[in-house]
A and B are shown apart, each in its own frame.
Chain A
Amino acid sequence: MLRNGPDAFGWVTILLHWTIAILIAGLLVLGFVMTRPDIDPVLQFDLFQWHKSFGFTALGLAAIRAVWWLAGRHPASVAGLSTPERHASFAVHILLLCLTLAVPVTGWALASASTLDIPSFYFNLVVIPHLPLAKSAVAEALWTTAHAVLAYGLAGLVLLHAGAALHHHFIRHDAVLVRMLRNRWRDG
């Protein structure tokens, strides 16, 4: 089924989750490589444009994900989680949701505030307008720092999140990971 059920994630949730996960991984790699100091300038220009196009895609999907999360039902927690564990996982998930929105928005802001004034040409199809921010070196630097800090923060949180999922699967042998891989799950 597409929508989340009382004890299972729907396919929309699952698809959004993994698509956004892959995008985040790719964007982190792109972001790291494209900011290396001795990179060839043509390659750097191209990587930045790919990064922006995939970044806007991640933003769009994260927005859809947020709406889907707010509008839909949430499956009950997997049995065996203590109250602090449930609260911690909830907090991490909310934080991930917020960061998947905040990171691309700060990226959009840095491109918008840059005195370079390079347009965002989404996969060379459509121009995405700049945010209405004043352009200056200071503004660009501030948004760049915000973008980098939040992005690497998100990376750390993703590692924590993925590590926890693997722990649940391989150590606890519960359904936490499996129910984000397929729609129906069975108790152990």
Chain B
Amino acid sequence: MSVRLTTLTAALTALAGFALQVSASEAKAPTLDDAAGRYDIDGSSQINFKVGQVGGGGISGKFTKFSGTFQLDRGDISKSVVEFALFPETVQTGEPRIENFLRSTAVFDTASYPKIVFRSTKITRTGENTAEIEGNLTAKGTTRTEHFEATLTEWNRRVIGFRIQGGVYRTRYNMSVGIPIYSNVVQFDMMVNGEKH
């Protein structure tokens, strides 16, 4: 009897674990049941990237126009789905010449490929507040599988926030200009905030 109770408690705790950040105003710990549902990624999110260069430093910037949703499944994180699109034309680095170069055929070719999209195919829980997101990234007419790490940073009944990080090899998307002066790896470090739909 007590073994079954222990097992049940452990299972519930595991399910709840993913959404277990308690903000000061919350009276009780939220569960995955509460967190479940559809969230629209809102404009407060920061979609940052960095490309390293030899000798240190690099090009860092962000994209200011993007959209997406995540669908958190009730009870099973692996059935959740993330869909995301960004407009590379909105890249900002603080240097107009670099931004224009990134928009050109040399990198994003925004005139021909105005959107970069990501759709998750598999989400795997890796810790209490973390998950690995595997999915298809499409950029400049090429689709490849990429992996990102997500860490839950914020949750209340209406809003959810994740830090999503990952590296993408740009040669896979026909964006190899500047190697080896500039790294092949584009590091994404994003704060993605979702508002419950």
Contact = CB atoms under 8 A, between A and B. Distances in A.
Interface of A: 40-42, 45, 49, 115-119, 121, 124, 127, 129
B43 interface: no
B141 interface: no
Interface of B: 53-55, 57, 95, 97-98, 101, 104-106, 177-178, 180-181
A118 B53 CA distance: 8
B95 A42 contact: no
A58 to B, nearest CB: 20
A41 B101 contact: yes
A42 B105 contact: yes
Contacts of B105: 40-42
A45 B104 CA distance: 12
Per DSSP, chain A at the interface is loop
Contacts of A49: 181
B55 A41 contact: no
- Of all A-B residue pairs in the complex, the 4 with the closest CB atoms, nearest first, are A41-B106, A127-B55, A41-B104, A42-B106
B106 A118 contact: no
Contacts of A118: 53, 181
B177 A45 contact: yes
Contacts of A42: 105-106, 177
Contacts of A119: 53-55, 181
Contacts of A116: 95, 97-98
A97 B191 CA distance: 56
B106 A121 contact: no
B126 to A, nearest CB: 36
Nearest to A128: B55
A123 B109 CA distance: 27
A129 B55 CA distance: 9
A121 B179 CA distance: 11
B113 to A, nearest CB: 15
B46 to A, nearest CB: 23
B177 A117 contact: no
9 contacts: A41-B177, A115-B95, A116-B95, A116-B97, A119-B54, A119-B55, A121-B181, A127-B54, A129-B55
Contacts of B97: 116
B74 to A, nearest CB: 49
Given A42-B106, A117-B57, A124-B180, 18 more contacts: A40-B106, A41-B101, A41-B104, A41-B106, A42-B105, A45-B106, A45-B177, A45-B178, A49-B181, A116-B97, A116-B98, A118-B53, A118-B181, A119-B55, A119-B181, A121-B54, A127-B54, A127-B55
Contacts of B57: 117
A12 B90 CA distance: 56
A129 B54 CA distance: 11
B172 to A, nearest CB: 17
A49 B178 CA distance: 9
Interface centre among A41, A45, A49, A116 (most CB of B within 10 A): A41
A115 B178 CA distance: 17
A56 B98 CA distance: 24
A57 B177 CA distance: 24
Nearest to B57: A117
Contacts of A40: 105-106
